[in-house]
Amino acid sequence: MARLIKSYIATALFLLLLLSLWEVGVHLFHVPFYILPSPSRILLVFFTRLPLLFSHGAVTLLEVGLGMFLGVTGGITLALIIFYSPFLESVLYPFIITSQMIPVFAIAPLLVIWFGYGLWSKATVAALIVFFPIVVNTVDGLRSVNSETIDLLHSLKANERQIFWYVRLPASLPSIFSGLKLGVTLSVVGATIGEWIGARKGLGFLMIQSNAMLRIDLVFASILTLSLIGLLLFATVRIIELRLLQWRRPRRKPKTSGGNH
């Protein structure tokens, strides 16, 4: 614990150092704020324009949240279909793997055309981004189950439903969560890009607008808000993960005596 706090302090100090260099540099070289605003100016704008940032941020958060929900439920559903049906797997899996080669960001403009300027086009971008890592990781997780464990459950006359809830699902949670943590940060980027392409609200939209008006300080304040949203979502996923996967963090070291496992 003490070591953890120490490393946090070190990180914070390093961040502070970088920000100070930035601040001093901007003042020293008289960089105009429409090129690179100083951190203090960004913070000032952040706090004075908080209501504006908040209202745009809420839209982006909603898009990401909806997208993640769709991507995760869809991804897990498809993973289950693939896992339980070898036929559908042989049909679908090659598509899923190759479709991962298509960068979702590149088809974002199409999505905006198909789903409009509103919530749904961005939610779709976010959903597609989360979808693939979730499908692949969930399938991996479901497959990771040891066959001896399944034999044991069969010998206890467990049915498939029980085997799923008692064994397969818990066994695949760790890899589902690694997919989720990968997806959550990317989906914020995805929604933002969707907003750049076409939107009426949202932090991406605010960035484009501010950029056009040379309000670079507001662009930075938007980026700061986006980072906070990303952080918030990541922390939420992490907290749920820690709660559900308590068993992966032993609280107590196994005794070495009395066995050699």
Partner 1 sequence: MNNERTSSVTVLAATGITKSFASPDKTIPVLSKVSISIPRGDWVTIIGPSGGGKTTLVKILAGILIPDSGKIIIEAKGEDPRRVVAYMPQNDSLLPWRTSLGNAILASQIEGRSRKEGQSEARELFGRFGLAGFENLYPSELSGGMRQRLALIRTFLSHREVLLLDEPLGSLDPLTRTTMQEWLLLVWQELGKSILLVTHDVDEAIFLSDLIYLFSRRPAHVRRHFNIELPRPRARTAQSLMELKTKILDLIHTETLNG
Question: Residues interacting with partner 1, by CB under 8 A?
Answer: 146, 148-149, 151-158, 162, 166-167, 170-171, 173, 245-248, 250-261
Choice between 29 and 247, CB closer to partner 1: 247
Q: Calculate the alpha carbon distances from 165 to 82, 140, 158 in Å.
A: 17, 17, 11
Q: Which of 137, 113, 135 is nearest to 125 (CA)?
A: 113
- Max Cα–Cα distance, the chain, nearest Å: 76
Give the span between the Cα atoms of 196 and 191, in whole angstroms.
9
Q: At closest approach, how far in Å is the CB of 148 from partner 1?
A: 5
Distance of CA 241 to the CA centre of its chain: 13
Q: Which is nearer to partner 1, 40 or 162 (CB)?
A: 162
Helix (H, G, I), strand (E, B), or coil: what is residue 116? Answer: coil
- Shortest CB 145 distance to partner 1, Å: 10
Q: Residue 200 or residue 252: which is nearer to partner 1 going by CB? A: 252
CB of 260 to partner 1, least distance (A): 5
Q: Which residue lies nearer to partner 1 by CB, 30 or 161?
A: 161
- If the CB atoms of residues 86 and 254 are measured against partner 1, the closer one turns out to be 254
202, 119 Cβ separation under 8 angstroms = no
- The Cα–Cα gap between 60 and 23 comes to 29
Q: Among residues 21 and 152, whose Cβ is nearest to partner 1?
A: 152
Alpha helices in the chain (DSSP H): 2-28, 39-48, 50-84, 86-99, 104-115, 119-143, 147-155, 160-163, 169-197, 203-212, 216-244
Q: How far is the CB of 177 from partner 1 (least distance, A)?
A: 13
Residue whose tokens read 């991996």: 140
Q: Please name the residues in contact with 206: beta carbons below 8 A apart, sequence gap of 6 or more.
A: 52, 53, 56, 218, 222
Q: In angstroms, what is the minimal distance from the CB of 147 to partner 1?
A: 10
Closest separation in Å from C-beta 176 to partner 1: 13
Q: CA 154 to CA 39: how far, in whole Å?
A: 62
CA dihedral sign, ordered 6, 12, 15, 20: negative
Q: Judged by CB, which is closer to partner 1: 51, or 254? A: 254
Query: Minimum Å distance from CB 245 to partner 1?
Result: 8
